[in-house]
Amino acid sequence: MATINTRTIGSGGTYADINTWRIAVLAIHTDFVSADVIEKGEVVSNLSTSSEQNISGATTDSTRYWHLTGNITNVVMKAGNLRKLDFNAQRVSGISNSDSYTEISWLEVTNWQAESGIHASQIANVHHCIAHETASSGTTYWDTPVGIEISKFGTELSCNNNLVYNISNKHTASSSENYQGYGMDMYNNINCYNNTVFNCSTLCIRDSYSGIKLFNNIAMLDTSWTYYSNAGGTAGCFEGLSTSGGYNMDSDGTLPGGFNNQLSKTIGNQFIDYTTDDFNLKSGADALSNGLVDANTPTQDFEGHSRAAIGQPCDIGADELPIGGPLVGRTPISSLVGGKLTG
């Protein structure tokens, strides 16, 4: 089994930012496979930066790779409760990686401009992250911010249990003001399960080249006036979806494929209070028990609540409402490993 080297990032940690951590690790070894290591960067404080934070330069495989994660004491699906990276309204791709099998988890990204908050261009596992509140870049039509983008053609990619909202760029490239913004942009052969995506100007979830497995996702409130599409389809909450999906929910009936979907549902019926960014499900929500657990479904939700066994119903989105209603008190992050409860 690979040795896990944990190195701390941020105030009180060993390295000031993610780039400094990456450079230091690569000075020790660039071949994680030969060294038989997982290099884990643990963000221990909020970070404010004006530059892209990049993870790349190593030889990796499915058992020896980079893992960038936040160090938190309680799991809460709301901004302000994860380790936050604020990009100061700069035009940067916030966290990016180009080494295969990178894992990115338990981080909040915000206040970037025009690019992707989290961008994986190789095989990756992105889970339990929050991406929200982009900054406007002004006049360029093609400046389209994306919350989470995975732009690798291949297998063994996953994007699960994430919360993405308020992704928009206001621009004046045409005769009137318009807005652009994608919540999640997924390429083919990706397992995209149990994400909650809300209020993205162009569309909430895009299957850029078809073939992703899109199940149990909430995508609500796109506000598009203009959009651009590689895969075709209609501007809306979902775009480009093939039949390899089901049990998803939207607010405007634009799901062009899949099965057992919840279409054109009322936003106010789903969340405790989306006006204060609380996207936990409330009692009586249409999302409750209208999803389905299969072999790729995350076994716990964002906050560590267990989902049912394979073949049983689950809630749609990143939140699983506990039996008895909304949870009072949270699950300690120390009891979760890789997004799964250990005890």
Which pLDDT does position 333 carry in this prediction?
Answer: 35
Per-residue pLDDT of the chain (343 residues; tens, 9 = 90+): 999 999 999 999 999 999 999 999 999 999 999 999 999 999 999 999 999 999 999 999 999 999 999 987 677 899 999 999 999 999 889 999 999 999 999 999 999 988 899 999 888 999 999 999 998 766 565 678 999 998 876 666 899 999 999 998 766 555 545 667 889 988 767 889 999 999 988 888 887 766 678 899 999 987 653 333 334 444 567 766 555 688 999 888 777 667 888 888 999 999 999 999 999 999 999 999 999 999 999 999 999 999 999 999 999 999 998 864 554 333 333 333 333 332 2
**CATH architecture for residues 3-341:** 3 Solenoid (2.160)
The pairing of strands 66-70 and 124-127 is unpaired
User: Which residues neighbour 304 within 8 Å (Cβ) at sequence distance 6 or greater?
Assistant: 75, 330, 331, 335, 336, 341
Q: Is 53 exposed, middle or buried (0-12, 13-18, 19+ CB in 10 A)?
A: buried
Check: CB of residue 214 under 8 Å from CB of residue 244. Answer: yes
Count of CA atoms in the C-beta half-sphere (13 A) of 21: 26
User: What letter would DSSP give residue 61?
Assistant: B
Check: CB of residue 255 under 8 Å from CB of residue 247. Answer: no
Count of CA atoms in the C-beta half-sphere (13 A) of 88: 7
Alpha carbon distances (Å) from 137 to 92, 167, 181, 204, 226: 11, 12, 12, 20, 16
Task: Work out the angle at residue 222's Cα, subtended by the Cα atoms of residues 218 and 227, and round it to the nearest 5 degrees.
Answer: 125
Q: Which of 13, 74, 62, 2 is nearest to 42 (CA)?
A: 13
User: What is the spatial distance between Cα 322 and Cα 242, in angstroms, rounded to a whole number?
Assistant: 31
The structure's pTM equals 0.89
User: Which residues neighbour 152 within 8 Å (Cβ) at sequence distance 6 or greater?
Assistant: 120, 121, 122, 123, 124, 187
224: tokens are: 């598009």
Alpha carbon distances (Å) from 155 to 7, 55, 193, 289: 29, 20, 15, 29
User: What is the spatial distance between Cα 163 and Cα 117, in angstroms, rounded to a whole number?
Assistant: 12
Q: Is 342 exposed, middle or buried (0-12, 13-18, 19+ CB in 10 A)?
A: exposed
Q: Which of 10, 98, 99, 87 is nearest to 50 (CA)?
A: 87
Which pLDDT does position 136 carry in this prediction?
Answer: 77
